[in-house]
Amino acid sequence: FQADFFSEIKATLVETIRNEVDAKDYRKAYSWVTKVYKISPQDIGAKYLEGACKYRAADKGGANAAWKEAEKMLSKVKPISCKIYQCT
């Protein structure tokens, strides 16, 4: 039940973010992205989206920092095959 609840909230947030991006209101979209972290702190997609919103809002330094952090988070993810075959 709890997982469904958080999935529904996250889906609503993603839809809101999409609407703000479509309206080209990247600062508002970014503020919604930060709410995704409250539900899913390690959401790599949200980190990339944060970078995109910052970039479009003319915060190039903030965008690069977010993208570097996203790359760092992504590098820690093991492929699914490693979970099955227990790679190192």
Between CA 52 and CA 67 the distance in angstroms is: 8
Please state the pTM of the whole predicted model.
Answer: 0.80
32-65 confidence digits (pLDDT tens): 999 999 988 999 999 999 999 999 999 999 999 9
pLDDT at 31 over 90: yes
**What is the CA angle 37-34-32, rounded to 5?**
120
- 3-27 confidence digits (pLDDT tens): 788 889 999 999 999 999 999 999 9
**Measured torsion, CA atoms of residues 18, 22, 24, 28, in degrees rounded to the nearest 10:** -30
